[in-house]
Structure 1
Amino acid sequence: MATDLFGDPIEDSHLNPSKFSDPEFDPESYISDLRTFVPFDTLRSELRSHLGALKHELVDLINRDYVDFVSLSTKLVDVDAAVVRMRAPLLEIKEKILNFRGSVDFSLAALQSRRKQRSQADETREVLELLLDTFHAVSKVEKMINELPSVPAELPNGTTGSTEKDRLRNSIPFQHSENGTNLRETQSVLLERIAIEMNQLKLYTTHAQNMPFIENMVKRIQNASLLLDTSLGQCFADSLEHRDANAIYNCLRAYAAIDETSSAEEIFRSTVVAPFIQKIIPHGSSGAVGESSGDELVQYYERIKRNIEDDCKVCLEISFTENSGLHVFSFLAKSILKEVLSAIQKGKPGAFSPGRPVEFLKNYKSSLNFLDYLEGYCPSRSAVAKLREETVYIDFMKQWNTGVYFSLRFQEIAGALDSALMTTTLLRSQNSSNQEYSRSSALKQSISLMDCLRSCWRDDVLVLSCSDKFLRLFLQLLSRYSNWLLAGLNARKTGNASGNEWAISAAPYDLLYIIHDINWLVDEVCGDYLGHVLELLKSCSPAVLDLVEQGILQGGNSLKVLQPLVINSIVETLVDKSVEDFRQLKGIAATYRITNKPLPVRHSPYVSAVLRPLKAFLEAEQAATYLTKELRKELVHGAAFEITRRYYELASDIVSAARKMESSLQKMRLGAQRRGGASSDVTDHNVSETDKICMQLLLDIQEYGRNLASLGVDAADIPTYRSLWQCVAPPDKQNTISF
Structure 2
Amino acid sequence: MVDLISTTPPKSATDLFSDPLDSHPLWFKPTLFLSPDFDSEPYISELRTFVPFDTLRSELQSHLSSLNHELIDLINRDYTDFVNLSTKLVDVDAAVVRMRAPLLELREKIQGFRTAVENLLVALRNGLRQRSEAAAAREVLELLLDTFHVVSKVEKLIKELPSVPSDWSNGDMNLIEKNALSNGTSLQHAENGTNLRETQSMLLERIASEMNRLKFYIAHAQNLPFIQNMEKRIQSASLLLDGSLGHCFVDGLENRDANTIYNCLRAYAAVDNTGSAEEIFRTTIVALLIQKIIPHKLSGVVVGSSGDELEDDYKQIKDCIEKDCKFLLEISSTENSGLHVFDFLANSILKEVLSAIQKGKPGAFSPGRPTEFLKNYKSSLDFLAHLEGYCPSGAAVVKFRAEPVYVEFMKQWNIGVYFSLRFQEIAGSLDSALTLPSLVPVHSSHSDENSQDLTLKQSITLLESLRSCWTEDVLLISCSDKFLRLSLQLLSRYASWLSFGLAARKKGSASSNAGCEWAISASPDDFVYIIHDINWLAKEICGDYLEGVLKLLSTCSTEVLDLVKKSISQAGKSLSDSLPSVINTIIEAVVDKSVEDLRQLKGITATYRMTNKPLPVRHSPYVAGILRPLKAFLDGEQATTYLTNDAKNNLLFGAATEITGRYYELAADLVSVARKTESSLQRIRQGAQRRAGASSDVSDNNVSDTDKICMQLFLDIQEYGRNLAALGVEAANIPAYRSLWQCVAPPDRQSVVNY
For residue 528 of structure 1, what is the aligned residue in structure 2? 544
Pair 1:586-2:599 in alignment: no
Matched AA of 1:60: D
Aligned with 2:393 (options 369, 373, 380): 380
For residue 685 of structure 1, what is the aligned residue in structure 2? 701
For residue 639 of structure 2, what is the aligned residue in structure 1? 623
For residue 518 of structure 1, what is the aligned residue in structure 2? 534
Q: CA deviation at 1:686?
A: 4.8
Pair 1:665-2:681 in alignment: yes
Instruction: Kindly indicate whether the alpha-carbon contact (under 8 Å) linking 1:151 and 1:171 is maintained by their aligned counterparts in 2.
Output: no
Structure 1, unaligned runs of 5 or more? 1-9, 156-165, 676-683
Q: CA, structure 1 residues 454+136, in 2 after alignment: closer, same or farther (shift >3 Å)?
A: same
Q: CA deviation at 1:435?
A: 3.9
Secondary structure of the 1:12 match is coil
For residue 616 of structure 2, what is the aligned residue in structure 1? 600
Q: Deviations over 1:344-372 (max 9, x none)?
A: 12222222222222222222221222122
For residue 337 of structure 1, what is the aligned residue in structure 2? 350
Q: Quick one: distance in 1 between partners of 2:280 and 2:561?
A: 47
Q: Quick one: distance in 2 between partners of 1:67 and 1:180?
A: 120
Q: CA deviation at 1:23?
A: 4.3
For residue 367 of structure 1, what is the aligned residue in structure 2? 380
For residue 277 of structure 1, what is the aligned residue in structure 2? 290
Q: Which moved more, 1:300-309 or 1:709-718?
A: 709-718
Q: CA, structure 1 residues 485+57, in 2 after alignment: closer, same or farther (shift >3 Å)?
A: closer
Aligned with 2:252 (options 235, 239, 256): 239
Aligned with 1:573 (options 583, 589, 598): 589
Pair 1:478-2:494 in alignment: no
Where do residues 107-118 of structure 1 align in structure 2 (5 Å cutoff)?
A: 107-118=120-131
Where do residues 106-505 of structure 1 align in structure 2 (5 Å cutoff)?
A: 106-148=119-161, 152=165, 182-285=195-298, 288-289=301-302, 291-430=304-443, 433-437=446-450, 439-498=452-511, 500-505=516-521
Q: CA, structure 1 residues 171+359, in 2 after alignment: closer, same or farther (shift >3 Å)?
A: farther
For residue 679 of structure 1, what is the aligned residue in structure 2? none
Q: CA deviation at 1:275?
A: 0.6
Q: Quick one: distance in 1 between partners of 2:204 and 2:583?
A: 88
Matched AA of 1:265: E
For residue 694 of structure 1, what is the aligned residue in structure 2? 710
Instruction: Kindly indicate whether the alpha-carbon contact (under 8 Å) linking 1:252 and 1:326 is maintained by their aligned counterparts in 2.
Output: yes
Q: CA, structure 1 residues 124+438, in 2 after alignment: closer, same or farther (shift >3 Å)?
A: closer
Secondary structure of the 2:609 match is helix
Matched AA of 1:648: Y
Structure 2, unaligned runs of 5 or more? 1-22, 169-177, 687-694
For residue 60 of structure 1, what is the aligned residue in structure 2? 73
Q: Deviations over 1:328-349 (max 9, x none)?
A: 2221121111111211122222
Q: CA deviation at 1:292?
A: 4.3
Instruction: Kindly indicate whether the alpha-carbon contact (under 8 Å) linking 1:673 and 1:685 is maintained by their aligned counterparts in 2.
Output: no
Q: Quick one: distance in 1 between partners of 2:698 and 2:600?
A: 26
Q: CA deviation at 1:610?
A: 1.5
Aligned with 1:85 (options 57, 74, 98): 98
Instruction: Kindly indicate whether the alpha-carbon contact (under 8 Å) linking 1:249 and 1:318 is maintained by their aligned counterparts in 2.
Output: yes
Instruction: Kindly indicate whether the alpha-carbon contact (under 8 Å) linking 1:288 and 1:348 is maintained by their aligned counterparts in 2.
Output: no
Matched AA of 2:486: L
Q: CA deviation at 1:647?
A: 0.8
For residue 10 of structure 2, what is the aligned residue in structure 1? none
For residue 159 of structure 1, what is the aligned residue in structure 2? none
Across the two proteins, how many residue pairs are aligned to each other? 709
Q: CA, structure 1 residues 171+200, in 2 after alignment: closer, same or farther (shift >3 Å)?
A: closer
Matched AA of 2:752: T
Secondary structure of the 1:324 match is coil
For residue 739 of structure 2, what is the aligned residue in structure 1? 723
Identity %: 69
Secondary structure of the 1:429 match is coil
Q: Which moved more, 1:57-66 or 1:46-55?
A: 57-66
Q: Deviations over 1:434-478 (max 9, x none)?
A: 341453111122112211221122211223333333333323322
Q: CA deviation at 1:104?
A: 1.2
Q: TM-score, normalised by structure 1?
A: 0.89
Instruction: Kindly indicate whether the alpha-carbon contact (under 8 Å) linking 2:297 and 2:303 is maintained by their aligned counterparts in 1.
Output: no
Q: CA deviation at 1:50?
A: 1.2
Instruction: Kindly indicate whether the alpha-carbon contact (under 8 Å) linking 2:610 and 2:705 is maintained by their aligned counterparts in 1.
Output: no
Secondary structure of the 1:667 match is helix
Aligned with 1:636 (options 648, 652, 662): 652
Secondary structure of the 1:598 match is coil
Q: CA deviation at 1:424?
A: 3.5
Matched AA of 2:729: V
Matched AA of 1:577: K
For residue 609 of structure 1, what is the aligned residue in structure 2? 625
Q: CA, structure 1 residues 571+589, in 2 after alignment: closer, same or farther (shift >3 Å)?
A: same
Pair 1:18-2:38 in alignment: no
Matched AA of 1:296: E
Instruction: Kindly indicate whether the alpha-carbon contact (under 8 Å) linking 1:432 and 1:444 is maintained by their aligned counterparts in 2.
Output: no
Matched AA of 2:93: D
Q: Quick one: distance in 1 between partners of 2:517 and 2:43?
A: 100
Q: Quick one: distance in 2 between partners of 1:38 and 1:379?
A: 80
For residue 661 of structure 2, what is the aligned residue in structure 1? 645
Secondary structure of the 1:284 match is coil
Aligned with 2:522 (options 500, 506, 519): 506
Q: Quick one: distance in 2 between partners of 1:249 and 1:658?
A: 117
Q: Quick one: distance in 2 between partners of 1:125 and 1:196?
A: 25
Q: Quick one: distance in 1 between partners of 2:524 and 2:504?
A: 15
Q: Quick one: distance in 1 between partners of 2:253 and 2:345?
A: 16
Q: CA deviation at 1:303?
A: 0.5
Q: CA deviation at 1:232?
A: 1.2
Q: CA RMSD in A?
A: 3.0
Secondary structure of the 2:165 match is coil
Matched AA of 1:575: V
Q: Which moved more, 1:194-203 or 1:666-675?
A: 666-675
Q: Quick one: distance in 2 between partners of 1:623 and 1:674?
A: 57
Matched AA of 1:338: K
Q: CA, structure 1 residues 306+171, in 2 after alignment: closer, same or farther (shift >3 Å)?
A: farther
For residue 3 of structure 1, what is the aligned residue in structure 2? none
Matched AA of 2:398: A
For residue 705 of structure 1, what is the aligned residue in structure 2? 721
Q: Quick one: distance in 2 between partners of 1:290 and 1:557?
A: 57
Matched AA of 1:523: K
Q: Quick one: distance in 1 between partners of 2:684 and 2:104?
A: 159
Q: CA deviation at 1:566?
A: 1.1
Instruction: Kindly indicate whether the alpha-carbon contact (under 8 Å) linking 1:290 and 1:348 is maintained by their aligned counterparts in 2.
Output: no
Secondary structure of the 1:282 match is coil
Q: Quick one: distance in 1 between partners of 2:194 and 2:383?
A: 34
Aligned with 1:553 (options 538, 560, 569): 569
Q: CA deviation at 1:672?
A: 6.7
Q: Quick one: distance in 1 between partners of 2:28 and 2:425?
A: 96
Matched AA of 1:588: I
Instruction: Kindly indicate whether the alpha-carbon contact (under 8 Å) linking 2:252 and 2:258 is maintained by their aligned counterparts in 1.
Output: yes
Q: CA deviation at 1:115?
A: 0.9
Q: CA deviation at 1:674?
A: 6.6
Where do residues 92-103 of structure 1 align in structure 2 (5 Å cutoff)?
A: 92-103=105-116
Instruction: Kindly indicate whether the alpha-carbon contact (under 8 Å) linking 1:205 and 1:214 is maintained by their aligned counterparts in 2.
Output: yes
Matched AA of 1:557: K
Q: CA deviation at 1:432?
A: 5.9
